[in-house]
Amino acid sequence: MNKIHALLGLAFSSAMLLSNCASNSSHLSVDTPTPPEPLVTKTYQGKASWYQIKCNGGTHTASGIPLRDYAMTAAHKTLPMGTKVRVTNTTNNKSVIVKITDRGPYTKGRIIDVTKGAAEKLGFIHRGITACKVEVIEDQPSPSLEDDSTI
């Protein structure tokens, strides 16, 4: 009987020790800095549509960069080539960041054409168009480890 009690005591102690180790591991997490939010410099509201290689009459964009269906790029009538914008589908709040590499859309009421891949991430690939918000963004520099002003 003493052997059974000893084994039960050992099993109980081991279980307590292991559960304590598991619960303490969460206290050992390291804080990782979150990247800063991009600075929004201008906002547009309107409709987004999507396009792909077989729809644009060729394989190159107005910037000369090849159009790739799953690249995170877009067409806008006036924004400078290379501008980064955050496109948000306002019906489901999904958003992506794309780079302007082409001109368009040329259909009244539409403010941006995104690639097929961007439309899939935005959740409107089957509808073809969606209400959207387009925000022109600028990346913010990450704080430097040597910058003691953040300590």
Q: Across the chain, what does the average pLDDT equal? A: 82
CA distance 55 to 149: 51
Residue 74: CATH number of its domain: 2.40.40.10
Neighbours of 77 (CB within 10 A): 13
Q: Residue 85: inside a domain, yes or no? A: yes
Residue 24 in domain: no
Whether residue 96 is contained in a domain is answered as yes
In a domain, 87, yes or no: yes
**Do the domain assignments include residue 76?**
yes
Tens of pLDDT along 88-137?
Answer: 999 999 999 999 999 999 999 999 999 999 999 999 999 999 999 999 99
The domain tally of the chain equals 1
Instruction: For residue range 22-66, list pLDDT tens digits in order.
Output: 554 455 556 777 777 788 999 999 999 999 887 655 678 999 999
Q: Does the predicted model carry a pTM greater than 0.85?
A: no
How many whole angstroms separate alpha carbon 91 and alpha carbon 111? 16
Cβ-proximal residues to 117 (8 Å cutoff; 6+ apart), any chain: 69, 70, 71, 72
Domain-embedded: residue 130: yes
Domain ranges, residue 88: 39-138
In a domain, 32, yes or no: no
Which DSSP letter does residue 16 get? Answer: H
Residue 9's pLDDT band (cuts 50, 70, 90): low
| Chain-centroid distance, C-alpha 117 | 13
Q: Is residue 10 situated within a structural domain? A: no
